[in-house]
Chains A and B, each alone.
Chain A
Amino acid sequence: MALIEFTDRGLCCKAGGFYIDPWKGVDKAVITHAHSDHARWGSKYYLCHDQCKALLQMRLGQNNYHTVQWEEKISMNGVEVSLHPAGHMIGSSQIRIEFKGEVWVVSGDYKIEDDGLSGKFEPVRCDTFITESTFGLPIYNWKPQHEIFQNIKDWVCRNRELGKTSVFIAYSLGKAQRLLQCLPELNLPIYVHGAIWNAHQALTTSGIQLPDVRRIDYDTPKAAYINNIIIAPPGAEGSSWMKRFFPYAVGICSGWMQVRGTVRRRNADAGFALSDHADWKGLLQAVKETGARRVFVTHGYQAIFSRYLRETGIEAAEVKTEYGNEEEENSAPISQEQESDNAK
């Protein structure tokens, strides 16, 4: 019997009596990170990283949460479980499972580059590695964060010269906080949408240091936004809520912005390929550094990435999961870039 099985509720470790990121309610859930396609409601027990808890509380309400630090080993039914930094967002972790000398690692979502906020991705040696593949195509090749941050700041300055407010579209959990690492350097007021404000509050209350932002309210005078910075989630794109910022320019921050067509389709004035997922080289590097002899590839370009791994001599197979599909239950249709990126 495999240490982890792929069931209709999610990744199941029968020996340990728990699931990892289950998409239906279970007795015991181990959570990689707080995005809604990985952390779902309905389970009786949630194990997660210390910094992840506040976000889970915000999203799922009060539950039986149990937190650990990275590298801290706990035993579940005789199976050793530990969490290791995944670099995807605050509190995001890979899950390492060891039983009778066999080691499996579930990556959750991850990126290799240290963003200075989410913890530095740690390669964990294992026999079997379960990896995501959101950007599992060689066209996805990220520039270093500092270069993208520079482009972002330059763009704001150019907008100001044209008398425009800079509106960034960024996921409220993860990308928005990342933007706050570079935007304060411009010394301009930063206004955020309510969803981002809530995440910001949850994180700062739990003790994470973040720069000050202002919440966008109905009574905020429109003049306050002029020439300044706005951060809004993808749902705000093209909605009437945006009208208050006129005249403005929209910059979308997402790995999908690597391709011109996506920028144009989203009607963005600028696209910044700032991603919280590993790019092609990052995925390959991660697989290599785990030393795994067997790899399962989940959400993303799983067929392509697993085929490529097989051709390089690694035993690899694709696995269907419900990750990368956050808004599936909503009737609101979404295209692929949203499906996967809003999960970050």
Chain B
Amino acid sequence: MRLFADLVTQLGTSTKTNEKLGALSEYFSTANDKDKVWVIAIFSGRRPKRAVNSTQLWTWCNELAKLPDWLFEECYHAVGDLGETIALLLPEASNTDASNPLHYYLETLISIEKQDESVRKEFILRSWQTMTQAERFVFNKLITGNFRIGVSQSTMVNALARTSKLDASVIAHRISGNWDPVATAFSDLLSEHAVTTDDSKPYPFYLAYAIEDEVSTLGEPHEWQAEWKWDGIRGQIIKRNHQLFVWSRGEELMTEKFPEFHVLKNHLPNGVVLDGEIIPYRSTSGSPSGGRVEGPPLPFALLQTRIGRKNVTKKQLTEAPITFFAYDLLEYDGHDIRETLLVERRTLLENLVDKINHPALLLSPVISFSTWPELATTRQQSRNLGSEGIMLKRKDSIYQVGRKRGDWWKWKIDPLVIDAVMIYAQKGHGRRSNLYTDYTFAVKDGDKLVGFTKAYSGLTDKEFSQVDNFVKRNSLEKFGPVRTVKPELVFEIAFEGIAASNRHKSGVALRFPRINRWRKDKTVDEINTLDDLKKMLELYGK
């Protein structure tokens, strides 16, 4: 555990990708194989189920630290991380020489998951007793989940590539999909065998960068394929050996969450992998459309009501139906066709979708255009069609691994913006701990201010510290961790979409709200009104 704790400390403080890569490579060349498998699992989002919940950890820590609950809570707000708060508050360990390797803790946690609370408590307390503060921190983080420590999966893959002499894209594929860290040996995980025996294994997604220059710099329009950019969940649908699997981009197996797709098992041939977008969508005619999109998707907010739930209810299925907008074919007839050119993959995809002719599987349409200005005009309709803009893909591109420049670009429409005033502030987490960085914004409704969104990002560190300073000097009331703030600072809030919502007092919910800029030139009298928001809802929210 100590080695892993050191790794996490190094990764947490190094600011350069190269240093992180170095630290990880060093780890992969020194750690034992079982621990390495777990590190790969953890950094690719495969952590064991929670054997213990946060409340239990909190309670047991407090029994040892002997602090009143309110004080523990204050500490938590200052630190912004439960695992770290506990590590800081626990009394000093009795003997830190007896700590065990990483896999011991993780596998024990799995083995006691179903046991009595007293057994689990005993294990946690005993483990804490032998750990340094750094070890306790990573241990607590492993238990509470959300292990975000500033390492992307691709950095880890590159570090593995460095130590294993395999190509990074090969590793990315081998460690994807459905494997169990308890039962998988390090040598098996990286072997070719792993790929050929796992029917569920998805391909690493190819992701696009946003285009920064004028589109005309891309060259001849006829070399490019344009598609709408949809706001859904990027996913792969896999059919192999008479089984169907649905993966999200977050490498989460979501087959059970989308029963609408299960019927495709009977329609898709074996050995097929589709890439596309899971979209909330209701077909207008109700009859098979030949796999063609007939109207705009439903708001993304509807999909959000479904994901995150363990079981999808009938009501949700009726209220938030989904479908798959397919735009690429990665495997066909059991062959990996990622190296085939896009135009050819597209032809195969179109034929396949046509033949299946089922409302659960639609073809994401290609936009025909002959000049860049023409496409620019078409792009202006994006919002009305429920799209975020346009995707540009070079017709002779292969399907790459990860986010790459050159062949695929996203050309998003400008966000919607509204000027609003900050009314509440709360301290952030992680690198923003103990700093007021999470804000709630309001628009005017007559003489009143109506909160309508939160936003956490978009300011520079310097601006955050200026706002933090303002909050500390201008807070009116304190409700738990939240401060009400004198309504004075005006910000331009950008967002991608707007939908009606009865959960929010303002009646609207925004998609991807963030701070676009600080309007130091504006006063609270000049902000937008609730009516302005309602007009936007009328225009774009249906």
Question: Which residue numbers of A lie inside 8 Å of B, CB to CB?
Answer: 137-139, 141, 256, 258-265, 267-271, 301, 304, 307-308, 311, 333-337, 339
Contact = CB atoms under 8 A, between A and B. Distances in A.
Contact of A259 (B65, B70, B434, B462): B434
Interface string B465-477: 1101100100000
23 contacts: A137-B78, A138-B65, A138-B71, A138-B75, A259-B78, A259-B84, A259-B88, A259-B433, A259-B434, A260-B12, A261-B80, A261-B429, A261-B434, A264-B150, A264-B430, A265-B431, A269-B13, A307-B70, A333-B468, A334-B465, A335-B465, A336-B472, A337-B434
B12 A333 contact: no
Contacts of A138: 65, 67, 71, 75, 88-89
Nearest to B469: A333
B contact patch SS: helix
Contacts of A139: 75, 78-79, 85, 88-89
B12 A264 contact: yes
Contacts of B74: 137, 301, 304
B187 interface: no
B88 A336 contact: no
Contacts of B465: 333-335
Task: Please give me the 7 A-B residue pairs with the lowest Cβ-Cβ distance, nearest first.
Answer: A261-B433, A333-B466, A264-B431, A139-B88, A335-B465, A265-B431, A139-B75
Nearest to A271: B13
Nearest to B137: A260
Nearest to A141: B88
A307 B15 CA distance: 39
Contacts of B462: 333
A197 to B, nearest CB: 28
A261 B431 contact: yes
Nearest to A333: B466
A334 B462 CA distance: 8
Contacts of B466: 333
The CB with the most chain A CB atoms within 10 A, among B74, B85, B461, is that of: B74
B81 interface: yes
B435 interface: yes
Contacts of A337: 434
A222 B210 CA distance: 40
Contacts of A262: 433-434
Contacts of A268: 13
Contacts of A265: 431-433, 435, 461
The CB with the most chain B CB atoms within 10 A, among A260, A267, A271, is that of: A260
A256 B462 CA distance: 18
A311 B13 CA distance: 38
A267 B468 contact: no
B433 A304 contact: no
Given A137-B71, A259-B78, A260-B81, 7 more contacts: A138-B89, A139-B85, A141-B88, A259-B79, A261-B431, A270-B13, A333-B465
A301 B14 CA distance: 30
B219 interface: no
Given A138-B89, A139-B89, A335-B469, A269 B14 contact: yes
Interface in B144-192: 150
A263 B430 CA distance: 10
